[in-house]
């Protein structure tokens, strides 16, 4: 499977934009990039996904580079409740794309 | 609408006892998944249901683990003769069949085996 690389931790000030990077240099042409997050003591939560175009929803924006080798999740105005571990995931292909493989992710700490 | 619910939220049991964990998926979601998360670790896939059948049981760690789903809805994960290494948070998720990558997770059951 294509692997993803994320920084282990990041800090962000409340109200500022949080930009979370993910490298996926071995991504294949038809693999989507998915982002989930896990707030402490809760189950993971789907955030957003994309293939090659930038995407935006009520939670976040996803910017994917033209070569698709990396992406950035943007939380435009981070709040304290956005403190969580953020996972960048490329669901397995070949008919087994239901298996979400969660790596270590990035622990985002939003500070007051 | 209601999200995925799991029960019990916490379970403490003695080594060697059997436990049963329950998952109620979102109404209309035909796909259901079980994962577990040990302390400080990532999520580990256990099993996937499409309707009442389980096309992939490859993640079940041993034959002490089993799962079933009836009526295309509620699922139970049973662990027989629990061991201390079974202590973890057991997470259930559900999705529409056509978008298995977009999964909605429940709050989990925290299992502690003494």
Looking at chain A, the number of H-run helices and the number of E-run strands are 0, 9
Q: In residues, how long is chain B?
A: 114
Residue B42's alpha-carbon distances to A69, A73, B88, in angstroms, are 23, 20, 11
Which residue ranges in chain A fall short of pLDDT 50?
A: none
User: Residue A66 has what pLDDT?
Assistant: 93
Say what the pLDDT of residue A20 is: 98
Return the pLDDT at A88. 96
* Mean per-residue pLDDT, B89-109: 92
pLDDT higher at B21 or B51: B21
Tokens of A15: 């109200």
- Chain A interface disruption, residue of B59, B105, B107, most A CBs within 10 A: B105
Minimal-distance CA residue of chain A relative to B39: A41
> Tens of pLDDT along B52-94?
888 888 899 999 999 999 888 999 999 999 999 999 999 999 9
B68: Cβ–Cβ under 8 A, 6 or more apart, which residues?
B75, B76, B78
Give the nearest chain A residue to B5 (CA atoms). A43
The answer on pLDDT for B1 being more than 60 is no
Q: What mean pLDDT value characterizes chain B?
A: 93
What is the end-to-end Cα distance of chain A in Å, rounded? 38
Residue B46 has pLDDT above 80, yes or no: yes
Mutate to test the interface with B, among A100, A101, A104, A107 (most CBs of B within 10 A): A100
B16 interfacial to chain A (CB closer than 8 Å): no
Residues of B with Cβ-Cβ distance to A34 under 8 angstroms: 101-102
pLDDT of residue B99: 84
Question: Quick check: B105 contacting A, CB < 8 Å?
Answer: yes
At B59, list the tokens. Answer: 């993640």
B40 confidence band (pLDDT: 50, 70, 90): confident
Residue A2: its pLDDT value, please?
Answer: 58
């Amino acid at each position: 499977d294509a692997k993803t690389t994320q920084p282990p931790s990041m800090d962000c000030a409340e109200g500022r934009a949080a930009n979370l990077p993910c490298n996926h240099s071995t991504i294949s042409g038809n693999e989507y990039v998915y982002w989930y997050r896990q707030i402490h003591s809760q189950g993971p939560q789907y955030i957003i996904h994309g293939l090659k175009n930038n995407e935006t929803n009520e939670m976040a924006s996803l910017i994917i580079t033209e070569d698709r080798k990396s992406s950035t999740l943007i939380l435009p105005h981070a709040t304290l409740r956005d403190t969580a571990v953020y996972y960048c995931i490329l669901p397995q292909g070949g008919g087994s794309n239901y298996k979400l493989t969660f790596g270590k992710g990035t622990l985002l700490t939003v500070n007051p | 609408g209601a999200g995925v619910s799991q029960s019990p939220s916490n379970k403490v049991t003695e080594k060697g006892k059997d436990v049963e964990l329950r998952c109620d998926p979102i109404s209309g979601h035909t796909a259901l998944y079980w994962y577990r998360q040990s302390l400080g670790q990532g999520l580990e896939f256990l099993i996937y249901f499409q309707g009442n059948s389980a096309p992939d049981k490859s993640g079940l760690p041993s034959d002490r683990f089993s799962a079933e789903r009836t009526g295309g809805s509620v699922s139970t994960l049973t662990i027989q003769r629990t061991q201390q290494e079974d202590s973890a948070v057991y997470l259930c998720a559900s999705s529409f069949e056509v978008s298995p990558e977009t999964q909605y997770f429940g709050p989990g059951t925290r299992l502690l085996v003494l």
